[in-house]
Structure 1
C-alpha cells in the first residue's frame, strides 16, 4: 500500500499486479508458449489490469471495457499501433493503412473509404458469388477437403477481382504461398526477446524476404497492368489510389502505392478466409445449426443465387458468422503503445508502455455471454448486440482504427457461406486435430478437414434444400 503524503492523500499505485516471470525475459516465454491460455489465466488470476514484463519491455493487459474505450476512442491519439510486436512486420506493410499513423493514416483512410461504402460495396456481390460457385464446381460429393486453403484461395481471388480488378491465376497462387510464409515467420518473431534485423540470414528470414518480394512482384504487375490498360472508367480500389492527388496535386508515390496495395490485398482476404474456415469448423460439429441455416437459405432463395439485396433476410446465417467470430476472432489480439504517460483504472503508466486488448478473452466473458464456450448463433437473433456494452464484442477492432473493410468482410462472409451451403453440407472429422494458432491472426493449425456432401440439385446445379431439423449435437432450441 502506498504511504500517505504530508497532506494525507494517498497516491495511486504505480502499476497493477501481475506475474513475476523469469529473469531477463520476464513473461515473454509464458506468453509466447501459449498466448490463448496465458491471457485468460492472467485475467482470472489478476483481474482487468495485469502488468507484464516482456524482456524488459513494459506491457499492460487490459480487459476492463471502459479502459478499452478510453484507449481506442477517447484518448486514441495517445496510443499508436507501433508496439513491441508490430516492429517485426514493418517490411511487409510499410506505411499502409494497417501500420501508418497521424496525418498520413488520416489521408490514406479518406482515400480508401469510398471503396468500402454504399453502392460501391453492393457492386461486389456478383463477383463474390460467381467466384464461389466456380470453386464449388471443382468439388465432388463425398470427398474430404481442408477448407482453410480453399477459403484462402477463394477470398484472395475475390480481393484481387473486387479491389484490383485482376484475375491473374498464377499471381494469386504465388501470393497465397507468400501469405502463408509471412504468417509463419511473424508468429516466430513474436516470441523473440530481441529484434533481429531482416538482413540476418536465418532460414525464416530468407523465406520471409522471398515472400515479401513475391507480394511486391504481384502488386507491381497489377499496377503495371492498370497503367498499360488505362484508368478511364475504372472504379476499383487500385484505380482510385492511382488517380488520387494530394492537396498539392501530386500523385501517391510508388512506394506508398505499393504499401497500400499489399496491405489491402493481404488484410482484405485472410481475415475473411479465417472467419469462414472457423465457421465451417463449428458447423461441421453442430449439424443442427447447419440445418437451421440451410432451411433459412432455402426459404429466402430457393434455387437462385444470393445477392446483396438478400442479406437483410438471412439473419440466422449472419448470426452464424457473428458467433464463429466471437469464439474464434481472426483478429484475436489488439496492441497499442502509449506516446505519453497515462492513467487507467486508477494506475499510472509511463510512455512507451505496450497495451494488450484481447478479443479472444473479451468474447468469452460469462458476464456478457451466457454459456460462452458454446457455439450458439441464436444468441444474436434478438437484441443482444444492442444490449452488449461497447467493446464486449469487437471482431473488427474499434474506434477510429476500426477495420475499414468490416462491411465488405461481413457481406463477403455471408454471401460465400450462403452460396456454399446451398450446394454442400460439411461433416467434421474428429480424428483430424485442429489447434488455434495465434500469429498476427488466428489460424487453424493442422487445417480444417471436412467431408463434404452435395445436396440434391436441379439441372445439375445447386437447388432448393429442405433439410431436417431433427435432434443432433448443436440442436437449436
Structure 2
C-alpha cells in the first residue's frame, strides 16, 4: 500500500501499485471484485487505482457514498464510459440519460411503479412462478440462474408491456448475455475500438442488439397499430407528450426506455434470486423457518399481495441475498465540479466508483460479513444501519425506479418456491460471481429438485404434487 505523504493531494491517496504503463488494468480484468475488496481493506475508505495514467477514486464508507449519491448528487453524473459502453444497447434511456431529460423521463415512467400498480403485478408474478415450477420434475437437475432469467423475463414482459415472451425467453436471454459481455469488455480496456467497426465482437453485439430490437419494436408497432391503452408502461410511453411542443415520443425514444426497463426489470431480480437460492444451501435452519412461515401463511395456496406483510422472513432472506450479491456490484460517477471528501480535494472530471459488493462486506456495518444471516434484516437491526451502508439498488435521486417492484417480486417468488420444493446444490461446482454490468454467476448454478408437496391447512399433512407440462 502506498501511504499519503501530502495531505489533500489526490496523488497521495492510498493505492495498490500496478504496472508502470497500464496501471491496475490487469487487476480489473482478472478479479475485479477481489481487487476492490483489497483496495478497501488495504487502503481504507478513500482509495485510488489507475487505468493507464488516469486515476479512479474508490469509496467504501457509507458517509462518503451518501455525500456523492445524495447530498451532492447534482454534481455527479454517469461517466462518459458508462454512456459510451451502454449507450449502443440502451440508447438514451433512464440508465444513461442525464439532467433535465433524465428527470422528465423518470417522471414519465414513475406511474408504472407506483404502489397501486406494483400491487396489481403480484398476481402475475406468483402465477407465472407456479406455472414454471410445475414443470420441474422431482429429482431433475436444472440451472437455477437460467430458470430465474426465464421466469423474470416473462414477468417483466407481461407486467410492463402486456406481452407473453415465454417462447422467446431463451433467445432473448442469450442476446442479453452477449450484449452485456460486449459492454463489460469495453469497460476493462484502455483503447476501445469504435462500436461501428466490423470487428468480430462488434458483429456479435450487433446481431444480439438486432434480436432484442426486433422484439421491442414489434411490441411498439403492435400497440401503435391497435391504439389500445392497456394501462401498462408501454401505453404510458406511447401516450406521453412533450410539455413544451406537445409532440409524442418517437419510436426510438420509446425503444430506449423500453429496452432499459426490459433489461433492468428482469436481470436484477433474476440474479438476486439465483444468488439467494444458492446461498440457502447448507442453511438448514433458515430453510426450515422459511418453509414454516410459508406453510402457516399460505397452507398450500398461491401467495397474493395481501400475504406479503405476513411473510416477513421471506423478505429478510431476499434482502440478505441482495446484500451478499447486489445486482449492480459497481456504480460510477464523474464530478462536474471540484469537491472535497474527508481530507482530500478533487478536481472536476474526477471519476468515483462505489461498490455495493464491497460496501455490504464492511465489518463496521455487518459483523462476520461473509456469513448469510437474515436476522440482519429485522426492523430493529435494519434501522440501526447508517444511510447508504446497504444499497442494492443504488441511492439518491437515481435509485433504481423499480426497486419496490423487484423486492416484491423476489419475496413472492421465494415464498412460492419454498413451499413447493427444495433445491439442492450439486457438489463439485465452483460458483464464481462475474460482474458483467450486473452480478451474474460465471456459468451455471446446477441444482437438484426435491419436491416436498404442500401443507394442507388444518391437517398438518403434505401432498406431493407431480410435475406437469406447461
Q: What is the aligned counterpart of 2:225 among 228, 246, 255?
A: 228
3-state SS in 2 of match to 1:214: helix
1 CA distance for matches of 2:374 and 2:381? 11
Is the contact between residue 422 and residue 465 of structure 1 (CA under 8 Å) also seen in structure 2? no
Structure-2 residue corresponding to 1:254: 251
Number of residue pairs the alignment of both structures matches: 457
2 CA distance for matches of 1:182 and 1:402? 23
Q: Residue deviations 1:385-423, cap 9 Å, x none?
A: 111000111101000000000000000111111111121
Please say if 1:242 is aligned against 2:238.
Answer: yes
Structure-2 residue corresponding to 1:97: 94
Q: What is the aligned counterpart of 1:33 among 22, 30, 54?
A: 30
Please say if 1:42 is aligned against 2:36.
Answer: no
1 CA distance for matches of 2:75 and 2:119? 36
Q: How far apart are residue 466 of structure 1 and its match?
A: 7.3
Judged with a 3 Å threshold, the aligned counterparts in structure 2 of structure 1 residues 181 and 465 are, in CA distance, closer, same or farther, namely farther
Structure-2 residue corresponding to 1:6: none
Q: Residue deviations 1:11-63, cap 9 Å, x none?
A: 73344121332122111221221011101111111111112221222210011
Q: Residue deviations 1:177-231, cap 9 Å, x none?
A: 2111112222222221112111223222211111111111110000111112222
Is the contact between residue 116 and residue 405 of structure 1 (CA under 8 Å) also seen in structure 2? yes
3-state SS in 1 of match to 2:241: coil
Describe how 1:178-189 pairs up with structure 2 within 5 A: 178-189=175-186
Please say if 1:379 is aligned against 2:376.
Answer: yes
Q: How far apart are residue 85 of structure 1 and its match?
A: 4.5
RMSD: 2.0
3-state SS in 2 of match to 1:337: strand
Structure-1 residue corresponding to 2:467: none
Structure-2 residue corresponding to 1:124: 121
Structure-2 residue corresponding to 1:362: 359
Is the contact between residue 88 and residue 189 of structure 1 (CA under 8 Å) also seen in structure 2? yes
Gaps of 5+ in 1: 4-9, 468-477
Please say if 1:275 is aligned against 2:247.
Answer: no
2 CA distance for matches of 1:141 and 1:464? 22
2 CA distance for matches of 1:2 and 1:421? 51
Name the TM-score, length of structure 2 as normaliser: 0.93
3-state SS in 2 of match to 1:336: strand
Describe how 1:8-27 pairs up with structure 2 within 5 A: 12-15=8-11, 16-27=13-24
3-state SS in 2 of match to 1:360: helix
Is the contact between residue 299 and residue 454 of structure 2 (CA under 8 Å) also seen in structure 1? no
Is the contact between residue 299 and residue 455 of structure 2 (CA under 8 Å) also seen in structure 1? no
Is the contact between residue 295 and residue 454 of structure 2 (CA under 8 Å) also seen in structure 1? no
Is the contact between residue 86 and residue 96 of structure 2 (CA under 8 Å) also seen in structure 1? no
